Amino acid sequence: MIASSNKKNSKSDDVNWFSRKRYYVTFLVFCGMVISVLLRSNLSIAVVDMTSHKNISKGNITYTKEAEFKWTSIEKGFILSSFSWGYFFGPFGGILTSRFSGVTVFGAGLLITSILTILSPIFVRQNMIVFIIGRIFEGIAEVDKIITFSKRNDTLFLWVIGHKIFPCQKEDGKGVER
């Protein structure tokens, strides 16, 4: 009778694994990290298409479409590196992380970077300098995530496993004498 009740409990634990908050939050942090990497690297991929000529064929007719942006390799370098210039403001992200929760700073940075990425086509058509300034602000918004990565890992580690850090600890957090 006892063995059958143990099987029933373990089966319900397997079914409801995602209902536990720690798994849900860990999944959300994973999604946030993926989005962060995609936002950071999207221009490196898109700049090739933005600055190259295209041969378009329709039936027997082939024509060449000019590049939308005629940037030199030096200008491309400035645009692509401008994101990293925002990392110069690293201490600013540390101050935010110490004053607000890591979740708030991480979410706000992700939101700001996403909005600036959505506005990038408007910036790039205005002026190259405006686009570079927008990329710098994206880097500033991302720097808080770099700083919160270590804090987030500590928080997730302690939160996922609870306060029972070592296998020899009891539920009350006191160690087992050996």
Q: Is the model's pLDDT at 110 over the cut of 60?
A: yes
For the chain, the structural domain boundaries read: 72-164
pLDDT > 70 in the chain, percent: 65
How far is residue 161's CA from residue 139's CA, in Å, rounded to a whole number? 33
Neighbours of 147 (CB within 10 A): 22
Angle at 145 between CA 140 and CA 150, to 5 degrees: 135
Residue of higher predicted confidence among 92 and 46: 46
Residue 58: how many CA atoms within 13 Å on its side-chain side?
Answer: 4
pTM of the full predicted structure?
A: 0.68
Comparing 102 with 76, which gets the higher pLDDT? 76
The predicted structure's pLDDT at residue 177: 44
Q: In which band, very low, low, confident or very high, does the pLDDT at 147 lie, cut at 50, 70 and 90? A: low
Query: CA 55, CA 96: separation in Å to the nearest integer?
Result: 49
Higher-pLDDT residue of 33, 129 = 129
Q: Are 147 and 97 in contact (CB under 8 A)?
A: yes
What is the distance between the alpha carbons of residues 75 and 6, in angstroms, rounded to a whole number? 66
Q: How confident is the model at residue 119 (pLDDT cuts 50, 70, 90)?
A: very high
Contact indicator for 95, 140 with CB cutoff of 8 Å: no
Identify the pLDDT of residue 125. Answer: 92
Q: Over range 59-71, report the average pLDDT.
A: 84
Contact partners, residue 65, CB within 8 Å, separation at least 6 = 53, 54, 55, 56
